[in-house]
Amino acid sequence: DTAVSQTPKYLVTQMGNDKSIKCEQNLGHDTMYWYKQDSKKFLKIMFSYNNKELIINETVPNRFSPKSPDKAHLNLHINSLELGDSAVYFCASSQGIGSGNTIYFGEGSWLTVV
Amino acid sequence: AQSVTQLGSHVSVSEGALVLLRCNYSSSVPPYLFWYVQYPNQGLQLLLKYTTGATLVKGINGFEAEFKKSETSFHLTKPSAHMSDAAEYFCALDGSSNTGKLIFGQGTTLQVKP
């Protein structure tokens, strides 16, 4: 069983469209994240949620809206997609928050905006 | 400000040779440090982490890293490289006040030559 699974893995869409990426973890973790990896492979946190509550919003544009219906799910909705949104988006989870808790990453969602 | 610097964006070794990937960090609080590996078109997999205690940390696939506070370093080593070790390696710092935010280095691409 995949611990952190996200769908779709590949997504090609036009500028201006709205799209969602879904994420589910079956590890029983309390904390979930979205990270973004740009074309230079640089990784940066976007959001973190603990027990469905938003902990970090790392200066992400309002067009990005995470939603956590329960502790096992953290979906990412993106409105009015722009060319610069093309990246790999990683969902992740950890048992607790901070304090050296291991963060487990999903396989990534490759988003290409044309 | 907290930061992670990986020296060398690209490292090339021969199969069977020593692997050394360098990571230096800056943190105002005791850091938790991680090494992750990313194979092409895949997610990030944890190799090892340092939280507290023993400064020499052993991980998966024969990798190990040593935390040196005086040098603010956490270099990753493996005595003998395998072809399967070719991948992108990321050093990361969790120096947060319980936000779960990982600060990543720029990544190092490891090439293993036959």
Nearest CB to A33 within list B45, B90, B100: B100
Residue A1 has pLDDT above 70, yes or no: no
Instruction: Tell me how many degrees the CA angle B84-B85-B88 measures, rounded to the nearest 5.
Output: 125
Sign of the dihedral defined by the CA atoms of residues A15, A61, B91, A42, in that order: positive
Q: Please judge whether A98 and B51 are an interchain contact, meaning their C-beta atoms are less than 8 angstroms apart.
A: no
Q: Please judge whether A105 and B43 are an interchain contact, meaning their C-beta atoms are less than 8 angstroms apart.
A: yes
Q: Are strands B10-14 and B19-26 parallel, antiparallel or unpaired?
A: unpaired
Say if CB A79 and CB A63 are below 8 A apart.
yes
pLDDT for residue B99: 76
What residues does B77 pair with on adjacent strands?
B20, B64
pLDDT for residue A97: 85
pLDDT for residue B100: 79
Distance from CA of A111 to the nearest CA of B (A): 12
Residue A31 has pLDDT above 90, yes or no: yes
Give residues 57 to 86 of B whose Cβ lies within 8 Å of A: none
Q: Which amino acid is at B16?
A: G
- A107 interface with B at CB cutoff 8 Å: yes
Q: Are strands A73-78 and A19-25 parallel, antiparallel or unpaired?
A: antiparallel
On average, the pLDDT of chain B sits at 94
List, for residues A87-107, the tens digit of each pLDDT value.
Answer: 999 999 999 887 888 999 999
Q: Say which residue the tokens 């902990």 belong to.
A: A55
- Phi, psi (rounded to 5 degrees) for A113: -105, 125
Mutate to test the interface with B, among A41, A88, A90 (most CBs of B within 10 A): A41
Residue A25 has pLDDT above 90, yes or no: yes
Count of C-beta atoms within a 10 Å radius of residue B51: 17
Q: How would residue B97 be classed by pLDDT, with cut points 50, 70 and 90? A: low
Cβ-Cβ contacts under 8 Å for A53 (sequence gap 6 or more)? none
**Pairwise CA distance, residues A88 & A9, whole Å:** 9
